[in-house]
Structure 1
Amino acid sequence: MTSTAFTDLEIAHMLADAARTAILPHFRRSDLSAENKLSEGFDPVTIADRAAEVAMRAILQDHRPQDAIWGEEFGQTPGQSGRTWVLDPIDGTRGFISGTPTWGVLIALSDGKGPFLGIVDQPYIGERFVGSAEGATMTGPLGPQVLQTRSTTDLDQAVLFTTFPEVGSQEDRAGFESVAKQVKLTRYGMDCYSYALLAAGQVDLVIEAGLNAYDVQGPIAVIQAAGGIVTDWQGDPAHDGGRVLAAANPQIHAVALDILKKA
């Protein structure tokens, strides 16, 4: 039976804490090696990715055994509750093995309607972005903060982030560039940290493609709790991944979505 000793939010924090403990001893180690999961291209995985997911799965087995689990490294484990914990132990492994602090641990709790609780955690910096029915918050070196997305409505004043050109096909890139050429500032290569910055009110748009559910469900919950909106490039739910448009508010989302639909 599912344990009631801890709330779902407390469990999510336990997962993030366990992942931090498993990952940080491996970060910026000169002897860290990475395996390539692809026969063509480069999709790295490290001992830290696997150790973090193992640690999180152990907590869920103890406290939420009836819930399903969907993790990047060890796949899907069925459950009986209709709820799924969606885990990406290190989103941005390319950044991780390069020593940048833009990777993160992604945790979501989802039901048939999509994610309703999420965490984006950056262990090295010590920042944790949380979204739930209680709202959106961030803890870190500057202390606790309530998250609120920006109110920008004009595209020529918007800040756009993406992991392009690393992610997506040429067709995807054409759609992205149709928006990028109209914004004030475009930045690249931030992985999940860009979604956290959108929730924190630093960024107006994130546009990506080729994502999996575990890449986006945690960020979706955080962004929505902070007042933002996340859909696919047709305006439909994005919790299964694919092409993703995250926006600070419905107005800037509508402008960007119209361009993507026409690209």
Structure 2
Amino acid sequence: MTAIDFIPFVERLATVSGEAILPFFRTAFALEDKNVGGPFDPVTEADRAAETAMRRLITQTFPSHGLIGEEFGSREAEADYVWVLDPIDGTKSFISGLPLWGTLIGLLHKGSPCYGLMNQPFTRERFYGDGRAAFWSGHNNGNGEKTTRKLRVRPCHGLERATLMTTSPRLIPQDLRPRYEALEEKTRMARYGGDCYAYCMLAAGHVDLVVEAGLNVYDIVALIPIIEGAGGIVTSWDGGDPAQGGAVIAAGDKRVHEQALEFLKTK
């Protein structure tokens, strides 16, 4: 099977996860802090309900496939095909009633991201790609009909013209933060917040750089095929493979990526 063969199934996963999440959004629900004593790391009933629904469907349909999920851990993570799930990326926005969150559904084939989808069920948007092409589907054309368009990053000649996004500079470890701050100082504009939405806006050609650190594998795997399919580039801060998370940079233009790495990589 190829990544294309899995597209209808990924769409089903997006639908069932959205159905599990939306009844909780902008309502009163149970909330826990997964990192008591450290930086606030919330998890909700919606996170767990959505991941449970997706894991059940994957296990029923592809019992030999592996699973990596934010809420319920890993199973058969060395399998040829491994599903990587983040039921709500952007939980802090979710609990604040802001629609800057999404469900990340990624697929690894022999350790490499081969397909990814970000689903935002509240705005009824989906961003998806296979590393060769990427697309957006939604309903914002004014007449309520669903439309689809190809995603493409925008050109940017240099950092002085670049719009940079990060979820929050405070989430970047202190030993790495001076590098980020030096980079931000060189850009035209920086915007905070967005989580997975920031990467999708890069793929759609609205921003030029996304820089994060401390990511987990489920935070990034689904986004890599979307960005690369739109013509962008995603690496670690040292220019290596970003698929395991950590310190990650995504750029729409190779020139900006190269300039940003000069600030971010180990000297």
Tell me what 1:158 maps to. 162
1:172 Cα deviation from its structure 2 partner? 2.3
Between the aligned partners of 1:231 and 1:107, the Cα distance in structure 2 is 19
Cα distance per residue 1:23-62 (max 9 Å; x no partner): 0000000x22210111222111000000000110111112
Between the aligned partners of 1:237 and 1:164, the Cα distance in structure 2 is 23
Cα distance per residue 1:37-94 (max 9 Å; x no partner): 1122211100000000011011111211111000000000116741110000000111
From 97, 100, 106, the equivalent of 1:99 is: 97
From 11, 14, 33, the equivalent of 1:16 is: 14
Judge conservation of contact 2:208–2:252 (CA < 8 Å) in 1.
yes
TM (norm. structure 1) is 0.94
Q: Secondary structure at the residue paired with 1:101?
A: coil
Tell me what 1:117 maps to. 115
Judge conservation of contact 2:90–2:101 (CA < 8 Å) in 1.
yes
Judge conservation of contact 2:101–2:196 (CA < 8 Å) in 1.
yes
Structure 1 residues 79, 43: CA separation in 2 closer, same or farther (over 3 Å shift)?
closer
Between the aligned partners of 1:83 and 1:158, the Cα distance in structure 2 is 36
1:153 Cα deviation from its structure 2 partner? 2.2
1:262 Cα deviation from its structure 2 partner? 5.6
Tell me what 2:33 maps to. 36
Amino acid at match of 1:37: K
Unaligned 5+ segments in structure 1 are none
Tell me what 2:235 maps to. 231
Structure 1 residues 80, 206: CA separation in 2 closer, same or farther (over 3 Å shift)?
closer
1:190 Cα deviation from its structure 2 partner? 1.1
Instruction: Give yes or no for the alignment of 1:89 onto 2:106.
Output: no
From 168, 186, 198, the equivalent of 1:182 is: 186
1:249 Cα deviation from its structure 2 partner? 2.3
Between the aligned partners of 1:38 and 1:177, the Cα distance in structure 2 is 26
Amino acid at match of 1:53: E
Unaligned 5+ segments in structure 2 are 141-146
Tell me what 2:143 maps to. none
Between the aligned partners of 2:235 and 2:117, the Cα distance in structure 1 is 18
Judge conservation of contact 2:131–2:227 (CA < 8 Å) in 1.
no
Judge conservation of contact 2:131–2:226 (CA < 8 Å) in 1.
no
Between the aligned partners of 1:103 and 1:229, the Cα distance in structure 2 is 22
1:243 Cα deviation from its structure 2 partner? 0.2
Amino acid at match of 1:186: A
Judge conservation of contact 1:66–1:79 (CA < 8 Å) in 2.
no
Q: After the TM superposition, which of the residue ranges 169-178 and 67-76 deviates more from structure 2?
A: 169-178
Structure 1 residues 134, 225: CA separation in 2 closer, same or farther (over 3 Å shift)?
closer
Structure 1 residues 255, 116: CA separation in 2 closer, same or farther (over 3 Å shift)?
same
**What is the RMSD of the two structures over their aligned residues, measured on CA atoms?**
1.7
The percent of aligned pairs where both chains have the same amino acid is 44
Between the aligned partners of 2:78 and 2:65, the Cα distance in structure 1 is 6
Between the aligned partners of 2:30 and 2:170, the Cα distance in structure 1 is 21
Tell me what 1:168 maps to. 172
Between the aligned partners of 2:78 and 2:250, the Cα distance in structure 1 is 31
From 189, 193, 198, the equivalent of 2:197 is: 193
Q: Secondary structure at the residue paired with 2:221?
A: helix
Between the aligned partners of 2:106 and 2:255, the Cα distance in structure 1 is 26
TM (norm. structure 2) is 0.92
Cα distance per residue 1:107-154 (max 9 Å; x no partner): 100123421100111111111000115610001123211000111121
Structure 1 residues 38, 262: CA separation in 2 closer, same or farther (over 3 Å shift)?
closer
Between the aligned partners of 2:206 and 2:62, the Cα distance in structure 1 is 35
Between the aligned partners of 2:12 and 2:61, the Cα distance in structure 1 is 11
Amino acid at match of 1:117: Y
Amino acid at match of 1:125: T
Q: Secondary structure at the residue paired with 2:186?
A: coil
Tell me what 2:144 maps to. none
Q: Secondary structure at the residue paired with 1:99?
A: coil
